[in-house]
Structure 1
Amino acid sequence: MSKPTLAVHKFSSCDGCQLALLNMGEALADLAQHVEIKHFVEAGLVNEDAKVDIALVEGSVVTAKDQQRIRRVRSNSRYLISMGACATSGGIQALKNLADNPADWIGQIYPQPEFIDSLDRSSAIKQYVEVDFELWGCPVSSLQVSEAVATLLNGAEPLDNQEKLCIECKRAGKICTLVTGGEPCLGPVTRAGCGALCPAFGRACYGCYGGAELSNQSGLRKRLEGLGLPPESIQKRMHLIHPDPQQQNER
């Protein structure tokens, strides 16, 4: 029997999630024993239009060409998994979504912005095509990727763990950056999975793993106000992991 096939596609991103896959080492070699990797540019395999069982997609949609390409990836894939903060929420490039006129931002960076092919928004993959599963993170956890792929290969649906980061912090015995440190931490409304990396170094969580279930957003907003953050700053912090539900789907 032939092996299930897999492709890794890059859109607008820093390549960090693909590097997380390459850094899996032996785990990646083990994965290659169970699937045939058709397309993975970082690993030297190029066949962008290959039809595959599983497509892993890194990066956000920011150009008209991206819009066409992601639809082609979707049509060539049985399962599509978006991985990383860029693919799941728009990433750092989605900062332009907050601008009244995104074109002004481009003009501040490029001397000839008229030659830049860029949409007004940086959008998550799910805004354009159906996504079977999302893996958040910046970068994504290589362990979560391998578990999700292995689960699919065994004919089951991957587990969407929306437990709060605060639980992960407590299990690891980390000092609370919000209560003890007085830092504007988003841990109470962010899902676990990163290993509480930022709080482990005394830094506030900024929510790259996406929103957790049953989050008390209003309570956290009041706490952040108590730390001196203005409402506009709090809204910006919440925006990407808890986007406006009225945002129009662009599919």
Structure 2
Amino acid sequence: MDTPTARRPRLGVFKFASCDGCQLTLLDCEDELLGLAAQVDIAHFLEASSAVEPGPYDLSLVEGSVTTAEDAERIRRVRAESRHLVTIGACATAGGVQALRNFADVEEFRAIVYARPEYVETLATSTPIAAHVPVDLELQGCPIDRGQLLEVITAFLSGRKPDIPRHSVCFACKRRGIPCVTVARGTPCLGPVTHAGCGALCPSYGRGCYGCFGPSGSPNLPAMIPLLRSDGMSDEDVLRVLHTFNTAKFAAIEQETGPS
């Protein structure tokens, strides 16, 4: 007598306001993706296939920020259909570079950019998914690291907690034997306050970290900002380097710690 085949977990991948780069990271897994596809049913992933199956989904990966009223409604539906929901990338975890609108007049932006702004419906802010629904895990990065993404999915399939590092880029530099660009060259670097995950890519080429993976743990911005100034950055430069991919998260920390 044949034994019944166990149901494979159902995977959903969803896009909100974003550049698609984090979804492409999943597709770039190539050989690993073939093995993954044998262990899950990819029920919803428009970047890969137009074939869509309705929920519920055992694991949902969500890329992008909430920038429209429709987005806010749709993410609630995705959450209701998802047993586990993981946000991937700076847009989904911090609002993305589009969150720069949060510090200006979005109506002015809309009037300047679009010939017929009255046809463009948008919220005044770009916000992370966690601002709207409960999130089980945030995977930071712009884009995310493929190794970390595979670790999250593998951990889910194995029923264990993902092993995602919480240390800073400085720790990654030490592990790779990369000389500190700030100490050795006086190069401004956000490594001390940035979440690891890129493998210290920029410092490995002698460049300072740009903060692509967002703030790590409890970053000490009151100590970091004067260091950036001492390395030759103006107040305007400091503001710009903190207000990029993860502007909303860095801004929130600035508000908590006060001006530096």
TM-score (normalizing by structure 2) = 0.88
Partners of 1:39 and 1:47 within 8 A in 2: yes
Q: TM-score, normalised by structure 1?
A: 0.91
* Residue in structure 1 matched with residue 56 of structure 2 by the alignment: 51
> Residues 197 and 103 of structure 1: is their aligned pair in 2 closer, same or farther, counting only changes over 3 Å?
same
User: In the alignment, does 2:27 pair up with 1:19?
Assistant: no
What do the CA deviations read for 1:54-100 (whole angstroms, capped 9, x no partner)? 0000111111111111111000000000001111111111111121x
Deviation at 1:233, TM superposition (A): 4.2
8 A contact 1:208–1:241 mirrored in 2: no
Which residue in the other structure is 1:81 paired with?
86
* Partner deviation per Cα, 1:1-50 (whole Å, 9 max, x = no partner): 11011011011111111111111011111111111110111111442742
Deviation at residue 157 of structure 1 after TM alignment:
2.3
Q: Give the number of aligned pairs.
A: 246
SS at match of 2:199: coil
Structure 1 unaligned segments of length 5 or more: list them.
Answer: none
What pairs up with 1:124-139 in 2 under 5 angstroms?
124-139=128-143
**Which whole-Å CA distance do the structure 2 matches of 1:187 and 1:48 have between them?**
42
Contact 2:64 2:91 (8 Å CA) reproduced: yes
C-alpha distance in structure 1 between counterparts of 2:49 and 2:143, whole Å: 21
- SS of the residue 2:185 aligns to: coil
Larger radius of gyration: 2
> Match of 1:61?
66
**In the alignment, which residue of structure 2 is the partner of 1:116?**
120
Cα offset, 1:205, TM superposition: 1.5
RMSD: 1.9
2:152 corresponding residue in structure 1: 148
- 1:177 maps to amino acid: V
Which residue among 171, 176, 182 is the counterpart of 2:175? 171
User: Is structure 2 residue 187 aligned with structure 1 residue 183?
Assistant: yes
Alpha-carbon separation, structure 2, partners of 1:32 and 1:153: 12
Which string of whole-angstrom CA distances, capped at 9 and with x for unpartnered residues, describes residues 182-230 of structure 1?
A: 3331110011111111222333212121211243322211101213334
Q: 1:39 aligns with which of 32, 36, 44?
A: 44
| In structure 2, distance between residues paired with 1:224 and 1:48 | 50
Q: Which moved more, 1:58-67 or 1:182-191?
A: 182-191
Pick closer, same or farther for the CA change 1:105–1:49 going to 2, 3 Å.
farther
Q: Secondary structure at the match of 2:35?
A: helix
